[in-house]
Chains A and B, each alone.
Chain A
C-alpha cells in the first residue's frame, strides 16, 4: 500500500468530510485519517500535510474545538469536537455538495 495514488478531492470537500467524521464523537487527527480511510474502503487517503492545516482552518472558523486528553495508549492527544456552528456548517455544506454532485450526475447522464 502507500504507493497507490489517492484520488483528488474536490476543493473544500476535505473540510466537509472531517466535519462529517466528527459527528459520531470526539476524535484525534490520526483517528480522523484512519476513519476516513476505513469508511471509504481505502479510496480516500487524506495526507497529513493537508489534514492538519484543514483542522487548523476549522478551529479558526470556530466549527470544531480542540482539547487535550489521554489516548488509548495513554499518551496526550488532541481531541477535536464538533461545535454547534460546525453542525450548521456541515448541514449547509452537505446540501451544497449534494447540489453540485447532482448537477454533475445530470451532466454525465445526459443523452
Chain B
C-alpha cells in the first residue's frame, strides 16, 4: 500500500465525512444499483429473454445486493465503535427496564468494591508502601527492649548494622510558650535520624555527641507541633523552651511525613547516654533499638549476630539478669515491626471484605444467569434474525461490564466513606495512617477489579445464553429447556454464597459474644459517678517531696468543698488510662537470682480514700489511712493476685516488699481485690504478676522521687457539669505552669478502652449483615427462577391433585437443601477460618458451639424466609391457565 504516513489520517477523515453524509450516500448507492439492474435487464432482454424472466435473472445474477450495500455502509462508519455504542445503549435500556435487578446488582457490587477499595488503600499505605526514609528496606528493628547501655554496646560491637535507639515516647510538659501543655516526646540517640535516613525540613538534626550529658539541651519539633504551638514560624529555630522544666533549644523541625516511632510523637530530645547515671543507664525505661544494615550485609547475617551480642551484653549488667532475658531477640524489617499490631487486624478485615465481594459477585452472576435464561426467547429470536453468537456473547458481556463499572464507580464513592470508618478502627498513632487517602493507583486497581468481576460473572451467563437450541426455544417459547448444567452451576453459586455468609456471620457472632463478655467484665472497681482530671507538674517541682504533698492536699481539700462533689482522692494512674506504672521490687522470702530476676509490680500511689471510693474490696488487713504519712512507718497494700503469686495459701499481711534500690522495707498492711488496670480483657500484662498501692506521701517512682503527675478523682453527687468545671478551675488555680488535662468521667474511660474493639465489631456486623442480605436475595432469586422454570410441572401436579401444602413443602425443601449444603460447607470453613480471629476474641472459643448453632439457625431461618415467598407464589399457580398457555 501507499507508504504515505498521512494516509490513515486522511482515510479516517474521509470516513468521518462519509459517516456525516450517510443518508445521502445511502440514497446514491441505491440509485446506482438500480441503474445497474436496469442495464442488466436490458442486456438480458437483448439476448432474447422475456421481460419477466430477464428481471428475475438479473436479480439472481446480481446476488445478495443487500449484503453488498451493508458492506458499503459499514465502510462509511466506525463500525466497532458504533457496535459498542449500540451494545451500551441496549444494555442501558435493559437496566432501565429492570430497575430492581439493576439496583440490587449495582449496589451489591458497590458495597463489595467500595469495601475493597478502602481496604486496599489501607493495606497499600500501611503494609506495602515503603517507609518514607532513605533505602527503607535496609532498616531493621532489633526485637526485645534494652536499657540505654545496650545502644553504645551494640553500636560498637555490631559488624553488620549501624545501631540507634528511639524511645516509645513519654509525656512532657512544654512551657515557656504561652499556656503550658502536655506533649509526647521521644528520646532518640544522636545518630537516630541518620540511621533512619530522615532529614529535617528546617534547621539541623542532632549532631554526634549530642546524646552525652551537658550537650543534650536541644529538641527537634514535629511539623504538627510546630504548626499548632508555634504557628509555623520559621524563626522558632534557636528559641529555648522548657520541657519538664529543662531548658532546651529548638534546633530543627521534621517534615510532616515523619512520625517515628508513631504519629503521636510531637518532639524528639536526645537520649542521654550517661554511664555515671546508674538508674537511667541500666534500669530506667528500656528502649527499642533500630538499625540500618551496613552496605553488603544481609538481613540474615544481622539476625545471626543479634543473639550472641545480646548474650554478651547480658553479662555486662551490673546486677543479675534472667538467663532467658531477650532470648528470642532478632532483627526484623522495620516496616514489619511498625505494622505488627495492625497487620493481623488489617488482613482479617481484608479477607472479610474480600468475602463480601465474592458473595456480591456470586449473587450478580446468579442474577445474570437467571436473567439470561428468561431472555432465551429474545436471544433465540435475534440468533434467528442472523445475529452472530459472538455478537450476542459480546452484548451480554457489555451488559455485565457496564453493571460492574457502575458498581465500581459507586464503589469508589462508598470506598471514600468506608476508608474513614476503617481508619477509625486503627490506632490513630499508626505511622502514615493520616495520609491514607484513596489514590489513583488504587482507583485503577478497583477499576480493574470491577472489570474483572464483570468479565468473570458475565462469561457464564453469556455462554449459557448463547448455547440455545434455536428451534426448540422458538417453538415452545418456554424456559423449560435450560441445560441442567447451568442450573446446577447456579445452585452451586448460591450454596457457596451461603457458605461464605456463614463464615462471616460466625465471625461477627464470635466478636459480638466477645464484646458482650467484655461489657460484663467486672473491672474490680465501680466507675460510676466519678470524674477524673490529670494534673502534671514537672518532676522538678516535686524535688521537695513536701511541696507536692502539700499541693495535692490542697487540691483534695478544695475538691471536697466543691458544691455537688462528694469524696475525693488522688491516684498516680486510674485504671484503663493507657499508663503502665510498674516498678521492680524486692520481695521478702523471694531472693533474686539469675533464674528469678527482680519481679515487677503495677505500682499505684494513692491517697487514703482511693480504695473505698473506687469500691475496691478489702480482702484482708486494713486500708490506708491519713495517718500513713511521710514520716510514719512505710506501708503498702497489695492486690489479691500479688498475694497469690508470692504467698499462695498464706496471709501476706505483715510481710515486706520494697522497690529496688530503696533502703527500707515496706510492710504489707492489707490485701485488696484485683482491678483491671491494663485493659478490660486483661487485668495486667503477662509479665506483671500483680499490683501494689503505696500511700501518696510515701510513694516513689523508679528514680526514687515522689510521683508528680497525678489524677484527681471526685465523686459526683449532683450537677456533674458544674463539678467538672469547678475542679478544673481549682486545679488550674494552683499553678499556671502546671498543665491540667480535661475532665473525664471514669466510666467513659472504661468504655473508651474498648472503643476500637467496638468499632471493629460494628464493621464486622455490617459485613455480616450485607452478606446475609445478599445471600437472602440470592436464594430468593434462585427459588423464584426454579418456580418460573417449572410452572408447567407445578400446574400439572396441581391439576392431578397435589395440595397447596405439598407444593409449598416441595419448593421449600429444594431451597432449604441448597442452603443446607451451603451451611454445612460454611460451618466447616468457619471452623478453619475463625482461628485467625483468636487474637480479637475474648472469653469465647474460636469454635464456640453456641455461636455456631445460633448462626446456623439464623442463616437457615433467613433461607426459609427467602424461599417462602416464591414457594407461596408457586402454590397459587392456576393449573388451568398454565396448562393452556403451554
Chain A residues proximal to chain B, CB less than 8 Å: 2, 28-30, 47-50, 52-53, 56-57, 59-62, 68, 71, 75-78, 85, 88-89, 92
Contact = CB atoms under 8 A, between A and B. Distances in A.
A49 B68 contact: yes
A47 B75 contact: no
B662 to A, nearest CB: 100
Contacts, number: 71
Interface in B446-469: none
Contacts of B64: 49
A94 to B, nearest CB: 14
A57 B75 contact: yes
Nearest to A28: B35
A78 B32 contact: yes
Given A56-B75, A57-B75, A50 B68 contact: yes
A61 B31 CA distance: 22
A18 to B, nearest CB: 15
A60 B15 contact: yes
Interface in B15-38: 15, 18, 28-29, 31-33, 35-36, 38
Chain A interface, DSSP helix/strand/loop, else mixed: helix
A50 to B, nearest CB: 7
Contact of A60 (B11, B31, B68, B69): B11
A110 to B, nearest CB: 30
A88 to B, nearest CB: 7
Interface string B31-62: 11101101110000000000000000100011
Given A30-B35, A48-B36, A76-B35, A60 B75 contact: yes
Interface string B1-23: 01000010011001100100000
Contact of A48 (B7, B18, B65): B65
Given A2-B61, A50-B68, A60 B18 contact: yes
A57 B76 CA distance: 9
Q: Looking at chain B, what size class is its interface with the partner chain?
A: 20 to 34
Contacts of A75: 35, 38
Counting from the closest, the 8 A-B pairs by CB-CB distance are A49-B68, A53-B71, A49-B63, A56-B72, A30-B39, A48-B62, A30-B36, A78-B32
Given A52-B33, A57-B75, A78-B31, 19 more contacts: A2-B57, A29-B36, A30-B36, A30-B40, A48-B36, A49-B65, A52-B32, A52-B68, A53-B75, A56-B71, A60-B75, A62-B14, A68-B28, A71-B35, A75-B35, A76-B31, A76-B35, A78-B32, A78-B35
A33 to B, nearest CB: 8
B548 to A, nearest CB: 96
A49 B10 contact: no
Contacts of B235: none
Contacts of A89: 2
Contacts of A52: 29, 32-33, 68-69, 72
Contacts of B885: none
A92 B2 contact: yes
Contacts of B71: 53, 56
B484 interface: no
